[in-house]
Amino acid sequence: MRQESFDFLQKYLNNPSPTGFEKEGQQIWLEYLKPYIDTHFVDTYGTVVGVINPEAEYKVVIEAHADEISYFVNFITESGFLYLRKNGGSDPLVAPSKRVNIHTKKGIVKAVFGWPAIHVRKPDQDKAPTIETVFLDCGASSKEEVEEMGIHVGSVVTFEDEFMVLNDKFYVGRALDNRIGGFMIAEVARRLKEEGKKLPFGLYIVNAVQEEIGLRGAEMIAHRIKPDVAIITDVTHDTQSPMYEKKTSGDLFCGKGPVITYGPAVQNNLRDLIIETALSAEIPFQRAAATRATGTDTDAFAYSNAGVAAALISLPLKYMHTTVETVHKDDVQHVIDLIYETVLRIEDKQDFRYFS
């Protein structure tokens, strides 16, 4: 990876972008993308769209989501402890002893997830942490002191863990789900520009908000763009770590390539084009099956408007919704390559219908 891309990746991943509060991360992303697009727009809730060939009638989307899981302050005790609500699929099991940032108008306030010491806990207290039992300590001794810091009900809380490289093979950090996707689609746009590729259609590079609470950003922007084709990238579970049941979760590996999904929301002809592209370009890939929905923004695009030919290219990831989400460097590059090569194979006004 070139140094400029790596620097952007690190800056973008380290910046917090909780669901509903993605503004700063979106600005970082757009600043990086601007040299490689013709124009852009931002919708009411913060989804950012870079456009190449905005005048073209036929529209192709490549998309990722920008938001990360987080918490809201929900209750402040008289002695200054904070209880929370989830913002997205936050996992209280990983919270105790973690350090966090509380976002206020006065700036970042540091806090920790406290937990009773092992010496004093009774056996009936040794249960998995839940949203009702985890709490924050920001060093205050009263509710009034907490409020003087700028903290109030509704203040957003994110983990402070940052990006690192593990064994020169893996990228590790919080919020790789799915800002690593935003990085990958931005790299596709960069390559198209720097390699002088001319597309016969409009390409919409979409970084959507609010995926973690129900695909909401994608739902909104799909109705605005009204695309003909949508290629979505998100993360999926590497199932090689302990405690995964492959019979239900599949047999997927970090380091063995992008994952191409089969399922009702995935348009078969578009999926087959992606597979043919991977085979032709010698890009390794894996396969996965969804049940009803993919659980990604693919669903929002597929079922929008009069129906959009949509497909999903996933990045295998270990330890989803923790502070140590982990992906393989080779997979990141191969997802970029696969989206790039597929975009180049799509024809103007290509008809993906099964028959007519």
Active site residues: 211
- Cα three-residue angle 39-40-46, rounded to 5 degrees: 175
Tokens of 237: 């579970």
Other beta carbons within 10 Å of 198: 7
Alpha helices in the chain (DSSP H): 3-14, 23-33, 143-148, 176-194, 216-225, 246-249, 268-281, 297-302, 329-345
Strands 81-87 and 99-104: unpaired
Encoded amino acid at 240, one letter? Q
CA distance 36 to 347: 21
Q: Using the structure block, give the residue that is written with the tokens 């073209």.
A: 56
* Closest to 202 in 3D by CA, of 59, 347, 4, 30: 59
Q: Taking a C-beta distance cutoff of 8 angstroms, is the pair 87, 145 a contact?
A: no
* Cα gap 304→293, rounded to integer Å: 14
Enumerate the β-bridge partners of residue 70.
Answer: 87
